[in-house]
Structure 1
Amino acid sequence: MGAPRMRPGGRSRVVTDRVLSATAELLAAEGYAALNFQDIAKTAGVSRTTMYRRWPNCAALALDAITAAVTERIHVPDTGSLATDLAGLLRQIADFITSPLGTAALAAGLEMESAEGPSARTTFWTRRLGEVAPIFERARARGEVSDGFDTEAALAMAAGAVYYRLQVTGGEVDAQWIDRVVGMLDTGRSPA
């Protein structure tokens, strides 16, 4: 499931932005199970036909809305240091997860997977890993990590720690906790 086909810019972009915004708003307020094209169209001020031309179902639309929100709210830092880049990224991830939309997005991911299969999850996370990879590429260029550094594993450990802390233990993610996680990852050595 890829991004909807559309002309760049113009009216199409405005309509798409309104639909994605309305979807995110309703997802945060009512959850994925309550999403339907009729309510989204009414909130966005567009026709359902317009929406069906771009998205085949609510799962595809929800995935695009979540992706747009994550892209808007989680920016890849470039501070000149792997440790501070990772700390900034983890802070943004924690802030998003604890927001109403982030909480709804996590729940929606599980519901969408049962309806759509793992392809939606794979598409989303492959895209996110590609967007975050520059943190590690810059660290490699600065000599902070080795050429064999496992970017995917490092991101999994760092982001996974945030999800674990917030979703499993219910703990807080503060600056000191983030520094502990980053300190454990900031060795530049992949396990053998």
Structure 2
Amino acid sequence: MGEYVHDPGSPLRAAELRWLTWCRGVVLAAGARQPLTIGNWADLAPLRATEPLSDVLGFHPYWMWQGVGPETHVHTREGFEAYLDECVAFADSVGKPLYASETVWGARDDARHVEVMRYTLGQLRARGIGYTVHALHHSLVADLHRDEHGPVGHPEHLHFLEADGSVRPGHEAFEEFAPPSAAG
């Protein structure tokens, strides 16, 4: 959803919610039994709007450390943490789990990306929020590769693994956030 999500009378908002309701119905009619979620950009309004259609509240909490993009409340650590707290409080108020279906903003500099990863995942872990990073592997999709492979926007380099399958320098730190092995 775009900025129109803030206007309950917006025909675009109504149309998108109708479409998402239709999508949910199709998935359920096809026999899906797993919990359904809808990924939402970093604003509480779309999370609230899609809550009735979601078994698990899905959001994209990015700490946009460069201070670019319209989501100005997540440009600072304080703003990002306050946003996470708002989302947790909302999820608690409706009795649904909260899941970060995309997270960890990019950086061209490998060490900076590791810092962003550690901070972001640490904040999610501290609040008991599950997550999937975006994106783990190199791709030709914009921002999921280095500059020599094509367009890169303000998220910079989001990937953790290079085109040859090697781990970006320092990114083995991701293992610090893996759950403990069942084998001990």
Q: TM tier, shorter chain?
A: 0.3 to 0.5
Question: More relative contact order in 1 or in 2 (CA 8 Å, sep 6+)?
Answer: 1
Structure with greater Cα Rg: 1
Normalized against structure 1, the TM-score is what?
0.33
